[in-house]
Amino acid sequence: MSPQKDNRPIIIKKVSGGHGGHHGGAWKVAYADFVTAMMAFFMVMWIMGMDPSTKESVQGYFQNPVGFRKAFGGGTNPLSAGNSLRNQTAVTVTMNSRDYQQTQFNRVAQRIRSRLEHDAQLKRLAGNFDISVTSEGLRIEISDAGAGDTFFALGSSKPSETAIRAFALVGEELADLENTVVLEGHTDALQYGRDGYSNWELSVDRANAARRVIVEAGVDKRRIREVRGLADRDLRLPESPADPANRRVSFLLPFAPPGDGSMVEMPHDESAERPDLSGASTRAGGH
């Protein structure tokens, strides 16, 4: 007897290949882009939450990253310094940012105006102060008025008590800046000269008297770049050459261009006390 034939149908199973885990690795690229975007978003939110001084420092880094890295030669991450960046022992390159300097100048100008309004002795002379931020930098001019002897006696380079108080106020506000300082003395067109002493000597001596007062008020003497005497060659009121308003002392803090090196590097110790100016009129009056 022949064996019984197996009439069951033959089933062939074909196993197809996979699809590469949800259509390949393209999802990884999309996920990486998403993570990068989220990180950038949180960075922006973090920077927006910083105090203004730190944001200005971050801005200075992106405006001049090479110079900023030189200022942090020890390898300090400028973004990790947080709110303590202003306390670094060296002046950072962010100070070379023109925008940063202009912001600082405007703040100083506002503080001086505010102090004049609250100073019983100087309030009446607030109109004699001309404070402006120009293309040169911060310029503060203190002009005479009336009889022309409010700040200096006629023909004299000895500052009055009012002048010393005014110059000291300016010096106290300039002490926290790092820009160099140029002082200018001006006279009117009247000649107070005597043998060997003219308006040229008088103007520079008055500027030098102001220099001594602001240095005593806290301005580092290394920041004084120049003391000029212009006599009557740069009148404030050319149409009235004899007007007392032409007699003035100017303080100019020029903008420092990036990498110029004209800004003074010096230790910045916020705990250092400013000298007591209560007796400034006695000490500086003999100069």
Mean pLDDT by 10 residues, the chain (287 residues): 62 60 72 88 80 67 57 49 46 65 95 95 93 95 89 93 96 96 95 82 97 97 97 94 94 84 51 41 32
pLDDT tens digits, one per residue of 167-201: 999 999 999 999 999 999 999 998 876 778 899 99
Q: How confident is the model at residue 112, as a pLDDT?
A: 97
Sign of the C-alpha dihedral, residues 279, 283, 286, 287?
negative
Residue extents of the structural domains in the chain: 26-88, 97-266+273-284
Residue 44 CB neighbours (<10 A)? 10
Are 250 and 139 within 8 A, CB to CB? Answer: yes
Whole-number pLDDT of residue 194: 74
Six token digits for residue 217: 């008020």
Fold exhibited by the domain 97-266+273-284? 60s Ribosomal Protein L30; Chain: A; (3.30.1330)
Q: Encode burial over 245-284: b for 16+ CB neighbours within 10 A, e otherwise.
A: bbbbbbbbbbbbebeeeebbeeeeeeeeeeeebeebbeeb
Confidence (pLDDT) at 108: 97
pLDDT value at position 284?
32
Closest CA to 52 of 128, 107, 4, 131: 107
CA distances from 169 to 81, 154, 215 (A): 32, 23, 11
The one-letter amino acid at 201: E
